[in-house]
Structure 1
Amino acid sequence: MSNHYLFSLEMSIELALINRKSSFVSDGVKMATPMRRTLVALHRATCSSLMNAEASLDLRHPLPLYLPVRTKKRYFIPPSVGMKGFKDSNIQDRARKAGVAPRQQYFERPINIASTSGVFDPYIPPEGDARLSSLSKEGLKQRTKQIKQSAGSQLAIRKIKEHDPQFSTKSFAVQAQEIFIEAHTALTQFNKEKLHSLLTERCYPEMTRGNRYKTISWTFLESLEPPKVVHARCPDMISKGNLYGQVTVRMHSKQTLAIYDRFGRLMMGSEEQPKDVLEYLVIERHLLNPYGRWRLHGKIVPSWAPAKDPIIKTVLIPGPDLKPGEEFEALNHQVPKPEAVQWSK
């Protein structure tokens, strides 16, 4: 709005006041004075409103489109990057001062109630798997230990039969051998679904660890001795009535095992040379679960067992640098033999 427009508006109001004043002269001075004051106040209010409107419509100084409004108070401000002398404990202290409760940290490990985490009271097989003479001192100790183990096994078998009436030591030994054969056959094919149905959650990682890029060839030839139940325990976990049945089966059989690496080279064993294997298998079942089944839980390796065959690893033998068009066989390169090294523990 221009100044010329304001000046013309003021002149028109002044003329109106003069005309109004001349008309009121005849009526008297008392009546004209308050009317004049009213018109002067109206004139001033009109001029101030016009000036405010002109200032608001002035495009040279536009107002911001939005105004920042603080809606939420920030109680905790993280420290700046590279702050010296700052520790993790200070974060919790500052959070408590600001009224924010820090989150509690839990260090508990998850548990699985479908199976136990180990073998309770493991069976200790006699040295050499042969009975010593009861007349000798060592034979007398061995016989006493067997009597104690057999007494505990009889009590555990009674508890197992209360929850599994079809349980029998004679038939269970054959069933355990079938579970062992099916589990190792599924391991060669790496059938995960079948392995989970035949192995417990403790035994599964132990059997499958490190076999991702390997080829396993395993066959069960024959049983040299009939399998036999030698040990039984019925432990409880978490609560007193949550029972698990663990049965140890002695199995003496003839097997073949060959393991190949990812390059198809033999690492251990042989497919043509069978071996006599004496194993003590631990079969477990959650007795309170009506849909539970007996699964392979682990193996007991006695201290007097012979050591396993060493693993043959595939290594790269350095050779000569071949030029384009040359062949390694034509050079008659002799591979140097490694020098003997004394290894100390």
Structure 2
Amino acid sequence: MNSLRAIQRVAPALMLANRVNRVPFTPAVALGIRGYATRHRQSEGKQILVRDYGVIANYVPPEATPSISDFHKWRLIKWRNMRNSVQNMLGIGLIKYKSLYEKWNSGRFLSLAEETYKDMNSAFARGDRHLLEEVCLDAMYSNLKNDLKKRNNVTWEWQYHGEVEAPKIVCVRCMGTSGFSKTGFSIGQVTVRMHTKQSLAVYDKKHRLVGGDPNNVQHVKEYVVFQRALTDPEDAWKVYGKVTPTEQKF
């Protein structure tokens, strides 16, 4: 019973939870096809560390726009979405300007983000801490590692069953110590809406199903924040955390 309660408490990290900083089919990294930069590297005799600024912006556009008949709510949502779109364009412009080693391409980024998201979920299910440390930044990795410690002699089997909708960029921001200069340290953060089909099954030591269902494919919607040091040639886009859409207040 204690094991099952622990499973029920931790399982939402994969299937349905969206809280901040929580968190293959055939994981490419595990097969050696795609590599990730390490979090601590030596470059020109200096150690480069990814800095933690927190989630720069957690705005998530609402799934539906209020009817124009409710003009007050409709106007506020339109204004917030327009302001976010302008900030996104500025963020992408700054990422393009400040990134000294990688040319921004939205399609290529979304493809990489989706693969990284699948690798993270697959590694978490298998308990692969090494891969988790490669695809996640400190806060996300720490939370997932703590969740792994709560497992009690059970095995997780997670499967990705495709997209419900294609991944979509919803928020882009850039921050650093250098303002509009190309010198200094700068990071980019991009929030991606992931709407995928997943299944999860949990088995005990005798391979008896004690949680989830391998045949129960669920639609999971998550907003995943990716971060990269723009001025570091060896850094890669990694999972910083997740944000939860907040209830709109008027």
Q: Is the 8 A contact 2:125 2:158 kept in 1?
A: yes
Aligned residue number for residue 296 of structure 1: 239
Aligned residue number for residue 146 of structure 2: 209
Aligned residue number for residue 176 of structure 2: 236
Give the Cα–Cα distance (whole angstroms) in 1 for the partners of residues 139 and 84 of structure 2: 24
* 1:156 to 1:180, Cα distance in 2 relative to 1, 3 A: same
Structure 1, residues 57-85: CA drift from partner, whole Å, max 9, x if none? Answer: xxxxxxxxxxxxxxxxxxxxxxxxxxxxx
Query: Which amino acid in the other structure matches residue 129 of structure 2?
Result: K
* 1:141 to 1:250, Cα distance in 2 relative to 1, 3 A: same
Aligned partner (choices 102, 112, 122) of residue 185 of structure 1: 122
Query: Which amino acid in the other structure matches residue 298 of structure 1?
Result: G
Which blocks of at least 5 consecutive residues in structure 2 are unaligned? Answer: 1-47
Whose helix proportion is higher, 1 or 2? 1
Query: Which amino acid in the other structure matches residue 120 of structure 1?
Result: I
CA deviation after TM superposition for structure 1 residue 220, in Å: 0.6
Give the Cα–Cα distance (whole angstroms) in 1 for the partners of residues 140 and 147 of structure 2: 14
Aligned residue number for residue 35 of structure 2: none
Query: Which amino acid in the other structure matches residue 136 of structure 2?
Result: L
CA deviation after TM superposition for structure 1 residue 215, in Å: 2.5
CA deviation after TM superposition for structure 1 residue 174, in Å: 1.9
Query: Which amino acid in the other structure matches residue 121 of structure 1?
Result: A
Q: Is the 8 A contact 1:256 1:272 kept in 2?
A: yes
Structure 1, residues 105-137: CA drift from partner, whole Å, max 9, x if none? Answer: xxxxxxx941415211212331xx123334532
CA deviation after TM superposition for structure 1 residue 153, in Å: 1.1
CA deviation after TM superposition for structure 1 residue 180, in Å: 0.3
- 1:245 to 2:188 alignment: yes
Aligned length: 190
Aligned residue number for residue 169 of structure 1: 106
Aligned residue number for residue 307 of structure 1: none
CA deviation after TM superposition for structure 1 residue 265, in Å: 6.5
Give the Cα–Cα distance (whole angstroms) in 2 for the partners of residues 149 and 155 of structure 1: 10
CA deviation after TM superposition for structure 1 residue 211, in Å: 1.7
CA deviation after TM superposition for structure 1 residue 261, in Å: 6.3
Give the ranges of 4+ consecutive aligned residues of structure 1 lying more than 4 Å apart after TM superposition: 260-268
- 1:221 to 2:221 alignment: no
* 1:187 to 1:149, Cα distance in 2 relative to 1, 3 A: same
Query: Which amino acid in the other structure matches residue 154 of structure 1?
Result: M
Q: Is the 8 A contact 2:139 2:240 kept in 1?
A: yes
Query: Which amino acid in the other structure matches residue 185 of structure 1?
Result: S
Q: Is the 8 A contact 2:124 2:148 kept in 1?
A: no
Give the Cα–Cα distance (whole angstroms) in 1 for the partners of residues 72 and 55 of structure 2: 29
TM-score by length of 1: 0.50
Give the Cα–Cα distance (whole angstroms) in 2 for the partners of residues 115 and 265 of structure 1: 43
- 1:137 to 2:80 alignment: no
Q: Is the 8 A contact 1:115 1:201 kept in 2?
A: no
CA deviation after TM superposition for structure 1 residue 196, in Å: 1.5
Aligned residue number for residue 48 of structure 1: none
* 1:173 to 1:233, Cα distance in 2 relative to 1, 3 A: same
Which blocks of at least 5 consecutive residues in structure 1 are unaligned? Answer: 1-111, 305-345
Give the Cα–Cα distance (whole angstroms) in 1 for the partners of residues 66 and 106 of structure 2: 25
Q: Is the 8 A contact 1:221 1:255 kept in 2?
A: yes
Aligned partner (choices 278, 286, 290) of residue 229 of structure 2: 286
Whose strand proportion is higher, 1 or 2? 2
CA deviation after TM superposition for structure 1 residue 186, in Å: 1.7
* 1:266 to 1:169, Cα distance in 2 relative to 1, 3 A: same
Aligned residue number for residue 79 of structure 1: none
Give the Cα–Cα distance (whole angstroms) in 1 for the partners of residues 185 and 204 of structure 2: 43
Query: Which amino acid in the other structure matches residue 216 of structure 1?
Result: W
* 1:273 to 1:180, Cα distance in 2 relative to 1, 3 A: same
Aligned residue number for residue 118 of structure 1: 54
CA deviation after TM superposition for structure 1 residue 288, in Å: 1.4
RMSD of aligned residue pairs (Cα, Å): 2.4
Q: Is the 8 A contact 1:255 1:276 kept in 2?
A: yes
Query: Greater CA deviation, 196-205 or 186-195?
Result: 186-195
* 1:298 to 1:267, Cα distance in 2 relative to 1, 3 A: farther
TM-score by length of 2: 0.68
CA deviation after TM superposition for structure 1 residue 252, in Å: 1.0
Radius of gyration: which is bigger? Answer: 1
The structure, 1 or 2, with the larger RCO (C-alpha pairs under 8 Å, 6+ apart) is: 2
* 1:266 to 1:117, Cα distance in 2 relative to 1, 3 A: farther
